Amino acid sequence: MALKCYNTLTLLFFLTNLSFYGNYYVAKGDNLAASFIFGDSLVDAGNNNYLSTLSRADSPPNGIDFKASGGNPTGRFTNGRTISDIVGEELGVPSYAVPYLAPNATGKVILNGVNYASGGGGILNATGSLFVNRLGMDIQVDYFNITRKQIDKLLGEANAREYIMNKSMFSITVGSNDFLNNYLVPVASIGTRVSQDPNAFVDNMITHLRAQLTRLYQMDARRFVVANVGPIGCIPYQKSINQLKEGQCVDLAENLAIQYNSRLKDLLAELNDNLHGSTFVLANVYDLVRELITNYGKYGFRTASVACCGDGGQYAGIIPCGPTSTLCSDRYKHVFWDPYHPSEAANILLAKQLVDGDKRYVSPINLRQLRDL
């Protein structure tokens, strides 16, 4: 009788665990099981809430349109969802990737993915030092190494490897801060700008990013989407501090972005050739955002220059979004939420182009095709 009871309990335990892992591993169908997100404030989902940093989005009205939080700020640098949030929804990820530094980033939750992105972070370790604390890409990859070992414990090494390689996607949105909050900052970067011309600086960025992506590959990452740098010379902050006219952008910042983006395209082609079994997709965010800025009326926007939340200058682009900021009356008519970041309305358009768009904006395949490999 005792043996029969023991066998029954053993079977029940086995079925319970099979059901649990079926929800997170086996029974995913065509959906993406996990999204691992790296980068900066464009995709930060709240990591900076847990850092002593000047780069924060944990106060209203940030998050005012984020339904999952009831309109409360979560640390996302926008009024609603980030591009990565929307991409995850479109590809069937069961829930938003939990911020790595959040207290609940443990146990089965991490099987839906983890967000390591950090406002102010960059490819280079020196980037964002003016914010005091931030997570650069090297640290973010270190943190994934910890997550990787946790997934081994949850699923077993063989299943974990299969899960990472074939049911997960790795999203990297980084590089803007290396220009905006490093190379282009006069006080913080005098030494860099004296010792390195733009070519040398971009070389340094590409060398570091190559090593970071290769490390992720060595930890079984196989499906990557890497965003290039957007038109950083056209954001409200740059237009405001340089007192530009409506249709103008800062030439130096634009030229740096274009130069880096050309090198990034070559890097991803190199990695596709050299890292067996990997697929690196280039998200052409630069051209996507340029299209929105140039033809904003076509997409239902009223302005692509003025920040919805912010103050200072012609474009409300000098003082970051916070509780005392001026807030626009129609948030879905603005391409930019604050002096630096797109609104949720813009993020929706950008994300859907990356998921189902053509090779103008995402190549060699789009993200739905990447998921279905």
Is the pLDDT higher at 190 or at 20? 190
- Give percent helix, percent strand, percent coil of the chain, each to the nearest 5: 50, 10, 40
pLDDT digits (tens, 9 = 90+) for 69-123: 999 999 999 999 999 999 999 999 999 999 999 999 999 999 999 999 999 999 9
Rounded to the nearest angstrom, the gap between the alpha carbon of residue 119 and the centroid of all alpha carbons in its chain is: 10
Is pLDDT at 265 greater than 50 in this prediction?
A: yes
Q: What's the confidence (pLDDT) of residue 191?
A: 44
In the structure encoding, which two tokens stand for residue 311, read together? 């103050």
pLDDT digits (tens, 9 = 90+) for 224-261: 999 999 999 999 999 999 999 988 999 999 999 999 99
Q: Report the candidate in 373, 372, 367, 369 with the shortest Cα–Cα distance to residue 37.
A: 367
* The model's pTM: 0.91
Is pLDDT at 22 greater than 90 in this prediction?
A: no
Is pLDDT at 1 greater than 70 in this prediction?
A: no
pLDDT digits (tens, 9 = 90+) for 305-323: 999 999 999 999 999 999 9
In the chain, how many domains are there?
A: 1
H/E element, 99: strand 98-99
The answer to whether residue 349 is domain-embedded is: no
The answer to whether residue 308 is domain-embedded is: no
Q: Report the candidate in 289, 288, 283, 186 with the shortest Cα–Cα distance to residue 235.
A: 289
The answer to whether residue 299 is domain-embedded is: no
Percent of the chain with pLDDT over 70: 90
Indicate the pLDDT class of residue 23, thresholds 50, 70 and 90: very low
The answer to whether residue 9 is domain-embedded is: no
Q: Which residues are catalytic?
A: 41, 338, 341
Q: Report the candidate in 188, 189, 180, 186 with the shortest Cα–Cα distance to residue 256.
A: 180
Q: What's the confidence (pLDDT) of residue 29?
A: 55
Indicate the pLDDT class of residue 18, thresholds 50, 70 and 90: very low
Residue with tokens 């023991």: 6
In whole angstroms, give the CA distance from residue 186 to residue 172.
27
The answer to whether residue 366 is domain-embedded is: no
In whole angstroms, give the CA distance from residue 342 to residue 176.
14
The answer to whether residue 345 is domain-embedded is: no
Q: What's the confidence (pLDDT) of residue 17?
A: 38
Q: Tell the burial category of 193 from Cβ atoms under 10 Å away from its Cβ (0-12, 13-18, 19+).
A: middle
Indicate the pLDDT class of residue 30, thresholds 50, 70 and 90: confident
In whole angstroms, give the CA distance from residue 51 to residue 57.
12
DSSP for 233-269, written as a single string: GGSHHHHHHTT--TT---HHHHHHHHHHHHHHHHHHH
Q: What's the confidence (pLDDT) of residue 19?
A: 34
b/e map of 324-343 (b: 16 or more CB within 10 Å)?
ebebbeebbbbbbbbbbbbb
Is the pLDDT higher at 334 or at 192? 334
In the structure encoding, which two tokens stand for residue 116, read together? 């390591």
Q: What's the confidence (pLDDT) of residue 196?
A: 78
pLDDT digits (tens, 9 = 90+) for 134-181: 999 999 999 999 999 999 999 999 999 999 999 999 999 999 999 999
Which structural domain range is residue 126 located in? Answer: 32-286
Q: What's the confidence (pLDDT) of residue 65?
A: 97
Which CATH number does the domain housing residue 210 bear? 3.40.50
The answer to whether residue 58 is domain-embedded is: yes
Indicate the average pLDDT of the chain.
91
Q: What's the confidence (pLDDT) of residue 185?
A: 87
The answer to whether residue 212 is domain-embedded is: yes
